[in-house]
Structure 1
C-alpha cells in the first residue's frame, strides 16, 4: 500500500491546463457576428520531477507521467463583441514505470461567454463568465493517473487587451474559479485533519497571466506567463497520497506561434509550448500543443464592409479581420 501512496503526485497542472487550453477563452480576440471558429487541439504534457509541498523530488516508481489530450473547441459570434465558446477534451494518462495503469476518457465540458464591455482605439476591456461540468463518471480519486477532478466549476474572468503599433499586442487576464465538492469512493480522508465523509471540500482557484508579442490576421508570435494560486494550505504529506483538495500552485512561461495559410483557405495552424518554473504539489511540467482551426461565415447576406472571421484589433474598423488587401 505504501508503494501506491508513493505514486501520489497529482497531475493537477496537466488537468488544469486542459480545461483552460482554448486560447480564445483568455485573449482579446472575438469572432465576427454570424461566424464560427472551430478547431481541434492535440496536447502533450509530461514531467518526471515534482514538488511535494515545497520539497523538489522525483519518484522512480512512477518515472515520467505523460498526459495527452485531443480537444474539440468552438467560438461563435453572436455579435462582434459578444461570443460563446466551448471545449471538450478526450484525455489519456500513463506512467513510464511502476505497475499502475493509466486512464482515458472524455473529461469536462467547458462553456463560457465573452463580452467586450468597453473599448477605445487601442484598449479593450472584456468580461467573461463560464463553467465546466464532468461529462461522465470517471474516477477522480486516482491521482496522478486520473483524467480529471470531477468538480463542477463556475468562473469569472477579466481581460485587458491593448494594441500597439506594428501589430504588437499586450493581453492581461485574471480568473477566479469556484469549485464544487467532490464525492469519492471512500468514507474517510485526511487533509489538514481527518474527515469521516466521502465528500471532499474543494478549494477555489485564482489564475492570472498575460502575453505579449505580434498579433495580426495572418501571423501570431507571443510570449506567455501564467500563474495559479489555490486557496488553502494543505500539502501532500511525505510519501502520502495527495487529495483532490490539496493546494496546487505553479508559475510557468511559454509561447504561442500561429499562421493562417492562404493556400488552405486560411486554415490556421497554432503551435504552443510552456514550461513550469516553480510550483507546489505539482510536476515540473513541459507542455506542447498543435491546433488546426478554421472559421465559417454563416450569414446569408454578406457585405464587403461587414467583418468576416476574427476581430483582430479593437477600435479599428479597417482592420477587423475581413479579407482586405493587407490580409491577403
Structure 2
C-alpha cells in the first residue's frame, strides 16, 4: 500500500513459453504451433491519494510468436487498465497485524488488435470490470495474503459473420467472452530491504466451451488454470529517501483447461518517491 503522496513507477519484462497445451481436458502438443512464446513489457504507476486509497494504472506491449506452422507474429499495445485499492481495516495486536483491502478496476483495449486468432492474438479485446477482496496477516516479518475476485467481461465483435459455440452455429459477429473468478494465496517474508514469497494462483472461467478437436482456440473457450511460483524483491535506498526495487518472479502452470502449460519469468525495476519532495513518509 502506497502512503499519501507516494508514487511508484514500474517497468517490467515477462517471457512465457509452452510446447504443450490442454485441448479441453486433453493435454497435447501441436506441430503446427511448436513452442509458443509470449513476451510483454509492462509500464505501471501507483499513487497514494491518501494513506488508505491508491490509484493504479498499467499498459502492456505484447508480442506473440511460435516456431511452428505458418502464422505470423502478432504484437502491439494491449489494454489500458485502471484500479483503485482501498485499505478498509488495519489492526496491530500482540498476535500480529491484520488488514483488509478491496480493489476495483476497469480495462479497455488501447489498440484494434485481432481477438479471434488465438493463441497468437495479444488479447481478447473485451472491456472488463473487476472487484477483489484481500486479507493480509503479518507477524515478525512473515506474512500470509489471500484474495478472491470476479472479472466481468463484455461481448466483443469479430470480423466474421458467424461462429460456432458449444456445437451450435451463431449467425452474428458479436461473441460472448466468459467471466472469470480468480483467487490467490501468498506466503512470504518482508523487511526494509528484501521480500520473498511463494504463491498459488487460480483462474476459473464461469462459462464457455472447449477447443474443438484439431482446431484453434476461440474467445468463447472456458480457460482455466492453476499456477505455482515464487517472487523476490530487493530495495536500494537513496540519500534523498526514495528507493529503487529490483523484482524477479517465476511461475509454472500446473493444471489447466484450454490453456498452454506455460513457464513464465518476469524481471522488473520500480522507483518509489514522494512527489512533494519529502522523505518522512517513505517506508
Give unmatched runs, 5+ long, in structure 2.
none
| Aligned 8 A contact 2:22 2:257 in 1 | yes
Equivalent pairs, count: 276
Does structure 1 residue 220 correspond to structure 2 residue 195?
yes
Work out which of the residue numbers 161, 167, 171 in structure 2 matches 1:187.
161
Give per-residue Cα distances to partners, 1:55-96, cap 9 Å, x unaligned: 010001111100000010000000111000011000000101
Does structure 1 residue 270 correspond to structure 2 residue 247?
yes
Change (3 A) 1:181 1:293: same
Does structure 1 residue 294 correspond to structure 2 residue 268?
no
Does structure 1 residue 102 correspond to structure 2 residue 73?
yes
Greater than 6 Å deviation, 4+ residue runs? none
2-structure distance, mates of 1:261, 1:34: 20
| Aligned 8 A contact 1:191 1:243 in 2 | no
Which residue pairs with 1:155 in the alignment?
Answer: 130
- TM, length-normalised to structure 1: 0.82
2-structure distance, mates of 1:272, 1:47: 17
2-structure distance, mates of 1:282, 1:94: 15
Give unmatched runs, 5+ long, in structure 1.
1-29, 309-320, 322-328
Root mean square deviation of aligned Cα: 1.3
Q: The residue matched to 2:70 in structure 1 has which SS?
A: coil
1-structure distance, mates of 2:139, 2:279: 29
Work out which of the residue numbers 32, 49, 53 in structure 2 matches 1:78.
49
Higher helix share: 1
2-structure distance, mates of 1:217, 1:152: 38
Q: CA deviation at 1:189?
A: 0.5
Q: The residue matched to 1:79 in structure 2 has which SS?
A: coil
